[in-house]
Structure 1
Amino acid sequence: MDVKDIAVPFVAWAVCGSLKFVVNFIRAGGSIAEARRLIGYGGFPSTHTAVLSSAVFFAGFTLGFDTPVFTLGLGTLVILVMDAHGLRQKVGVQAKAINELRRAVGIEGAPLRERMGHAWHEIGGGLAVGLAVGYIASWL
């Protein structure tokens, strides 16, 4: 095992986090505080997808796309993508409904985080980051 094997997902995490901050900074009209607030369980690109896909693609590029390691990673990646798009988005919808109910009946306290899950383009962005990091790392 090489240090690179362990470093690839962390590099993808750092690249994705930096991109997500830049995107949120632009969306927030140049407000650093608002850009930080927007970072969380959602947004473009998907950090979860980038981290796992970087390891999966790195394994594919270095070990082969016809290996059990790649197949296992791909299966795990598909589950993660389904979760990011399906279940976690529904959790965000539920949080929004609960927050509205809390406001309607006057319950105070910190609201639940409503921004959860990812749209397909956000997942695609995470896959692109993971693919790029995995590919570049395989050539280093």
Structure 2
Amino acid sequence: MDLSYALTPFIAWLIAGGIKFVINSIRAKQLAFKMIGYGGFPSNHSAIVSSTATLIALREGMDHPAFAVAITLAFIVVLDASSLRRQVGKLAEVLNKHTVHLEEGYVPLRERMGHTRIEIAAGVVTGVATAFSVNAWLMTLLHKVSLLG
């Protein structure tokens, strides 16, 4: 069984999340555990789906039906990140401004939800680079194993 299809998006998620955590920690001048979640640079979701689509393209080819499914999923995720979730974040901002004064004990809604185009592009670049790196590493490993056997 080829675990690279599970390993690659997981590694892309770790890399994008690590970069995001470091950037947020630098901006906040403290460890940014409270900022983990949706939104920020780079987009974890974009990194995950683009790494999967790229790995399928590298391994199976762009004419394979799995690549079409992966690209379709990637478009849905990216559109969701750039439009729907950004609108949800704007709505949360408005609700927080008006509700905080009316209700005692109100826990503000998370306002940072979606991604900008730059954050999404950085996620895609992270995902594509991860897929190329994992694929190259595995091919090198397989080549070395075949030379030994």
Q: Report the TM-score, using the length of structure 2 for normalisation.
A: 0.87
1:131: which partner in 2?
128
One-letter code aligned to 1:22? V
> 2 CA distance for matches of 1:79 and 1:50?
13
1:5: which partner in 2?
5
Q: Report the TM-score, using the length of structure 1 for normalisation.
A: 0.93
Matches within 5 A, 1:63-78: 63-78=60-75
2:114: which partner in 1?
117
Task: Render the CA deviation track for 1:99-136: whole Å, top value 9, x for unaligned.
Answer: 11112324432111111010000001110110001111
Matches within 5 A, 1:53-72: 53-72=50-69
| Contact persistence 1:16–1:129 (CA under 8 A) | yes
> 2 CA distance for matches of 1:79 and 1:41?
16
List runs of 5+ in structure 2 lacking aligned partners.
139-149
Q: Return the match for 1:47 from 40, 44, 48.
A: 44
Task: Render the CA deviation track for 1:59-116: whole Å, top value 9, x for unaligned.
Answer: 0111111211111110110111000000000000111111111123244321111110
Give 1 or 2 for the bigger CA radius of gyration.
Answer: 2
Identical amino acids, percent of aligned pairs? 40
> 1 CA distance for matches of 2:106 and 2:88?
19
| Contact persistence 1:49–1:80 (CA under 8 A) | yes
State yes or no: 1:15 paired with 2:12. no
Residue 49 of structure 1 and its aligned partner are, at CA, apart by 0.9
Q: Count residues in correspondence.
A: 137
List runs of 5+ in structure 1 lacking aligned partners.
none
Matches within 5 A, 1:90-101: 90-101=87-98
1:87: which partner in 2?
84
